[in-house]
Structure 1
Amino acid sequence: MSQSLFADAMTRLDKALQHVSISPEAIERLRYPKASLSVSIPVRLDSGELKVFQGYRVRYDDTRGPTKGGIRYHPNVSLDEVQSLAFWMTFKCAAIGIPFGGAKGGIAVNPKALSRMELERLSRGYIDAIADFIGPDTDIPAPDVYTNATIMGWMMDQYSIISRRFSPAVVTGKPTAIGGSLGRETATAMGAYFVIRSLMTKHQKLPQVTTVAIQGFGNAGAVLAQLLYEAGYKVVAVSDSKGAIYNPQGLDIPSVRAYQQAHKGIEAVYCEESVCNLGDRQLLTNSELLTLDVDVLVPAALENQITLANAHEVKAKFIFEVANGPVNSAADLILQQNGVCVVPDILVNSGGVTVSYFEWLQNRSGLYWSLEDINQRLQEKMEAETSQIIDLAEELSLSLRTAAYVHALKRLAAAIEAKGTQQYFAQS
């Protein structure tokens, strides 16, 4: 790309600012991350070799509360990416109305090339390096791309060792046996499902006649595919990093998930099998999946999947961003001109951080909720905020993305301005 991911992310802020009146000081604060940390993590490999990995953590804004955001393990992790994701998390927490600011972290690594013991040493080493930067009242990490409950458990345990006290609230997305919340692993998909159902109901699209393609068959994408399948939607295509499978009559999603689970081994950290190995389906590339003639397209993999290069080829009527930043700003303009309704990531995938908030509350209080209670609270929150953003979009004639940013900006600006601005202090 000619510009950085962060510069592209900032264009969404600039567009939203045209539709809301807030103080210049609030705008200035939101253009810069509060703190950024780059660390080196030396890891002794099983072979005896020492290898150093580069890690990052960014706290973008904590005006509304301690910062919150996932940790991803991926070869392409960079400070620019982590800063952009922290920016999006800031707006996501504000849009969904939970009292957190935004943060993000990551390590530049191919986790599938590491053994389980190497992965544990890397995870604990990362916490050793950033322990002074995080904390239950400061910054609370969570899972993201290629991290999971096991890894979060290692991180929580390492922080507890360093702080010399059991600290479950420092990390969310942990195993339930050590303070994790019921419903956390399915929260992103469940939240996305509630948003999709709300929008499809509003547009009078019945599940039985609504076709769906999902790019990304990881935790969020696979669970969402299952939820949509069970609700009667026709999921015609899914993909993972190796490619896609497509059946215009609809895929048997339970069979696809069962195949993937059966081939990864009961103790594996990552699945090593591809959905592409399933027979009797048409094989596609990930790029081809994005241009299928379907009603609903769900990018649930990585950022920058729909760009200036392929936006004209998108045929879906609705795009629900389960991944962070899968549609860049240049593509947004093309999709809007072509009548495609893009429902933004800061709303669609906010179920994960919402249930992370529930987990944090449970850790702090020592009182734990039932799965039914958690899902009910999540549904109420997702549907209420979706309704407000839809109403704002209609009231101001905005896209849903811009409406979501305006919705978040109002809350962020109110918190910043509550601490005093030039206008307040200049009064005699």
Structure 2
Amino acid sequence: MNNDNLNPFKIVQNQLKDVCETLGVEQEVYDILCEPQKTLEFSIPIKMDDGTTKVFKGYRCQHSNITGPFKGGIRYHQNVCLDEVKALATWMTFKVNVVGIPYGGGKGGICVNPKELSKHELERLTRGYIHAVYHFIGPDIDIPAPDVNTNGEIMAWMMDEYSKIAGYDVPAIVTGKPVEIGGSLGRTPSTGYGVALMAKMAAEKLNLQLQDLRVSVQGFGNVGSFAALTLQNLGAKVIAVTGTKGGIYCHNEKGLDIKSLMAYYKEKGTVKGFEKYTEDCDSIQSTDILGLDVDVLLPCALENVITSENASDIRAKIIVEGANGPTTIEANKILNEKGILIVPDILANAGGVTVSYFEWVQNKMGYYWTEEEVYSKLQLIMSKAFKEVCEIEKIHNVDMRTAAYMLSVRRIRESLKIRGRI
């Protein structure tokens, strides 16, 4: 039986409590950060294509703006709930402070399976969401972005709807937009690129050669696919990939052709069947992918996939968390005891919010950077954060997750003190 606490908000609260105790910070720091500043829960009635009206549940959570405007994605998923959104907003506060960008944490979502909606229904739902949160967000207040099952097109609808209500164009209201309407070059691959960069630095930390790395990827959405592609381009061998829904995974000991798999996945929405189009590739039940004998495991799907029930099966030397909260507290203890190096989510997948920050800055300036400039700035910020986390890890003899939280909480605490909040 699984004894893990799988409530993501309870998990992040426990993580925060442990770190505050380790740092010895004032009780007020924990009290301020353990609950969001504001949470909005609302209904969105939408006229469906058949003429009926269906009501969807929506959320927007604003955890903390101590270090800057609220920032965080909006996910469309049938399992979205209040505690999940609160947890993701809280993680975002720690994430932006690990990499040192001037934002606070926010998150939003709609409880819906977007694949069950037509494109017109999805657009009406998206515009309805903006109507519901219009007075709650703003380019200097709270800036949404893409997340699970949302993309540049949905961000474009959000920007357009907000601009229509405001009466003028407001490109800085969301990030992750298409380049044609103010999006940043490099934004779409940025989270996966950052995950790959963290995997590269983690391998160097363990004196592993990149060209010798064998990698498996759990979840082949935007993050997992670009992380896999980037690592392959750097010389690593990606031998196994599962789709976001699981079921089966593609496996090839010689290394998968990630570019071809991405094209297949975009067309089919699954990795199932890809083995028919390539040599030396087979399909295996996806529950086995976590236990493959690889150097690097990238969990890039949803939270709570690595638990106390399967953590002991993991044989990877390095785990780089592309998803938010993929590892439970109990599983984290087991993995640490096994000596597995974990690059935690609040550092590993911070590439997306970092380039979202770049996009926001470019919108504010009305001046746009080249893709080379974007990646150069992203690499500089994330490499610096990785080194700072490793330094704290060494000084305090803690794991990387604890060190990352210590770095983040220390920065937040300093902001609270300077502003007279504590």
- The normalised TM-score by structure 1 is 0.94
Opposite residue 176 of structure 2, the aligned amino acid is G
Residue 57 of structure 1 and its aligned partner are, at CA, apart by 0.4
Match of 1:278 among 231, 253, 274: 274
For 2:205 and 2:7, the matched residues in 1 are separated by: 36
For 2:88 and 2:226, the matched residues in 1 are separated by: 22
1:78 aligns with 2:81: yes
1:300 aligns with 2:303: no
Match of 1:102 among 95, 100, 105: 105
The 8 Å contact of residues 8 and 303 in structure 2, kept in 1 or not, is answered as no
1:260 aligns with 2:265: yes
1:23 aligns with 2:26: yes
Opposite residue 110 of structure 1, the aligned amino acid is N
Secondary structure at 2:83 match in 1 = helix
For 1:140 and 1:120, the matched residues in 2 are separated by: 19
What is the root-mean-square deviation of aligned Cα atoms in Å?
Answer: 1.2
Residue 19 of structure 1 and its aligned partner are, at CA, apart by 2.5
For 2:84 and 2:295, the matched residues in 1 are separated by: 30
Inter-CA distance 244–60: structure 2 relative to 1 (3 Å threshold): same
Tell me the residue number matched to 1:245: 250
For 1:28 and 1:255, the matched residues in 2 are separated by: 49
Secondary structure at 1:410 match in 2 = helix
Residue 209 of structure 1 and its aligned partner are, at CA, apart by 1.5
The 8 Å contact of residues 248 and 285 in structure 2, kept in 1 or not, is answered as yes
Deviation string 1:340-363 (CA, Å, 9 cap, x unpaired) is: 111100000000000000000011
The 8 Å contact of residues 23 and 417 in structure 1, kept in 2 or not, is answered as no
Residue 255 of structure 1 and its aligned partner are, at CA, apart by 2.1
Opposite residue 274 of structure 1, the aligned amino acid is T
Deviation string 1:126-181 (CA, Å, 9 cap, x unpaired) is: 00111111100110000000000000000011001111111011100001111111
For 2:12 and 2:156, the matched residues in 1 are separated by: 31
Residue 374 of structure 1 and its aligned partner are, at CA, apart by 0.6
Tell me the residue number matched to 2:206: 203
Opposite residue 273 of structure 2, the aligned amino acid is N
Residue 3 of structure 1 and its aligned partner are, at CA, apart by 5.5
For 2:327 and 2:68, the matched residues in 1 are separated by: 28
For 1:287 and 1:417, the matched residues in 2 are separated by: 47
Opposite residue 292 of structure 1, the aligned amino acid is L
- The normalised TM-score by structure 2 is 0.96
Secondary structure at 2:272 match in 1 = helix
1:11 aligns with 2:7: no
For 1:339 and 1:15, the matched residues in 2 are separated by: 20
Matches within 5 A, 1:391-410: 391-410=391-410
Secondary structure at 1:182 match in 2 = coil
The 8 Å contact of residues 8 and 329 in structure 1, kept in 2 or not, is answered as yes
Opposite residue 119 of structure 1, the aligned amino acid is L
Opposite residue 253 of structure 2, the aligned amino acid is P
Match of 2:173 among 163, 170, 174: 170
Opposite residue 256 of structure 1, the aligned amino acid is L
Secondary structure at 1:120 match in 2 = helix
Matches within 5 A, 1:135-150: 135-150=138-153
Tell me the residue number matched to 2:314: 314
For 2:157 and 2:259, the matched residues in 1 are separated by: 31
The 8 Å contact of residues 6 and 304 in structure 2, kept in 1 or not, is answered as no
The 8 Å contact of residues 45 and 118 in structure 1, kept in 2 or not, is answered as yes
Tell me the residue number matched to 1:387: 387
The 8 Å contact of residues 65 and 105 in structure 2, kept in 1 or not, is answered as yes
Of residues 156-165 and 240-249 in structure 1, the stretch that sits farther from structure 2 once superposed is 240-249
Deviation string 1:277-311 (CA, Å, 9 cap, x unpaired) is: 11252222332111111110000000000011111
Opposite residue 183 of structure 1, the aligned amino acid is G
Of residues 140-149 and 251-260 in structure 1, the stretch that sits farther from structure 2 once superposed is 251-260
1:129 aligns with 2:132: yes
For 1:171 and 1:205, the matched residues in 2 are separated by: 39
Tell me the residue number matched to 1:113: 116
Tell me the residue number matched to 1:159: 162
The size of the alignment, in residue pairs, is: 413
The 8 Å contact of residues 212 and 297 in structure 1, kept in 2 or not, is answered as yes
For 1:166 and 1:38, the matched residues in 2 are separated by: 27
Match of 1:181 among 177, 181, 184: 184
Residue 259 of structure 1 and its aligned partner are, at CA, apart by 2.1
Opposite residue 380 of structure 1, the aligned amino acid is L
Secondary structure at 2:283 match in 1 = strand
